[in-house]
Amino acid sequence: MLTPAPAGRRADLAPREKEVLLAWLLHDNKDDVARELEISTTTVRTHLQRIRDKYAAAGRPATTKAALVARAIQDGLIDVNDL
């Protein structure tokens, strides 16, 4: 069972990064995310890389989409029922 991350170990994601992360978790590809958020696919990739970098800096690496799902659940950004 996953436990919430201690407050000091959370990645400090900006509101837009959270928005991109949640959209990415609910879509099959970055192009769909880009269309929904009206940004370029390159911008989606940039946000996701920054999110991964922030998780790595917090000592909680998330190199795969599955790991990003786990981090989002741990941080209370999404519930497993939302997926």
Q: Rounded to an integer, what distance in angstroms lies between the CA atom of residue 32 and that of residue 25?
A: 11
- Structural domain range at position 47: 13-82
- Residue 35 scores a pLDDT above 60: yes
Alpha helices in the chain (DSSP H): 15-26, 30-37, 41-57, 65-74
CATH assignment at residue 31: 1.10.10.10
The pTM of this model reads 0.85
The fraction of the chain above a pLDDT of 70, given in percent, is 90
Q: Helices 41-57 and 65-74 meet at what angle, rounded to 10?
A: 60
Per-residue model confidence (pLDDT) at position 3: 52
Q: What pLDDT score was predicted for residue 18?
A: 94
| Number of domain units in the chain | 1
Q: What is the pLDDT of residues 70-83, one digit of tens each?
A: 999 999 988 888 88
The pair of three-digit structure tokens given for residue 73, joined into one six-digit string: 């659940």
Phi, psi dihedral angles at 58 (to 5 degrees): -85, 5
Residue whose structure tokens are 């970098």: 53
